[in-house]
Amino acid sequence: MSEKENNPAEQGTQAEDDEESLRGDSSKEGGLADLSELEKIKKELELEKVKAAQELEVGEEEEGEDAREADYLQKLINLTIKFDHHLGMFLMPSYIDCGLKYDHRLVESYTTQLVTIQSFLRLLEKVDGVTREQVTKECVIKLRNVLQQVNKNMVKPLFKEVKLMKKKPKMENLDTFKENWNDRLLEFQKVCDFEYQILDVKGFQIK
């Protein structure tokens, strides 16, 4: 019989050592499992953080886009008001100063169209998305078309007649109209450039 077999105390000690070793190994495995779980949670948190940052960036871009669209819309509304004002306050008096007749019904049709465009634009202030973008573009084109007709049928004929006059008429209203008309067209060109690259309105300016 061996010494170990003959010594119960030593056998007990060995058993305790083996049990402690197993507990140690189990503890290590548990610790590694805990670390692995923490790493997994850490990665998930990092992904959530990146996702949240991206969503915030998208939200800020959308807010910025909405602000730009609202500003764009307001500029268009102001331009329709100003063009309407210039026709009634400066162009019509210029015809009178020059002793020339003008078609009241034609002028009224232009101002009515300008007011209609303005009304549509004001309605768009309460709308967003694709509908607003599409209708806004249509309003820009319609406004350009109206100004093209005003230039062709009202502005050009007036200034052509003035050039042919030997005795120049009172020019105050005419000069004011020319200055404001040209300035508004430059503003409108900038608005057009925001949406269109080839939509020209500077060609309607008075030289």
Identify the residue with better confidence: 47 or 207: 207
Average pLDDT in the chain: 79
Cβ neighbours, 10 Å, residue 176: 16
pLDDT band at residue 3 using 50, 70 and 90 as cut-offs:
very low
| Residue 22 confidence (pLDDT) | 46
Q: Which candidate, 74, 64, 75, 71, places its Cα nearest to that of 189?
A: 75
Q: Is 129 left (phi over 0), alpha (psi -120 to 50) or beta?
A: left
Cβ neighbours, 10 Å, residue 106: 13
CA distance 103 to 108: 9
* Of 35-39, 86-90, 167-171, minimum mean pLDDT range: 35-39
Q: Are 155 and 100 in contact (CB under 8 A)?
A: no
Ramachandran angles phi, psi of 198, nearest 5°? -125, 10
Q: Is the pLDDT of residue 18 over 80?
A: no
pLDDT per position as a tens digit, 132-164: 778 888 889 999 999 999 999 999 999 999 999
CA 80 to chain CA centroid, Å, is: 20
pLDDT band at residue 35 using 50, 70 and 90 as cut-offs:
low
CA distance 205 to 184: 9
Identify the residue with better confidence: 124 or 92: 92
Identify the residue with better confidence: 69 or 171: 171
Q: Is the pLDDT of residue 53 over 90?
A: no
CA 96 to chain CA centroid, Å, is: 43
Q: Tell me the mean pLDDT in the region 174-188.
A: 95
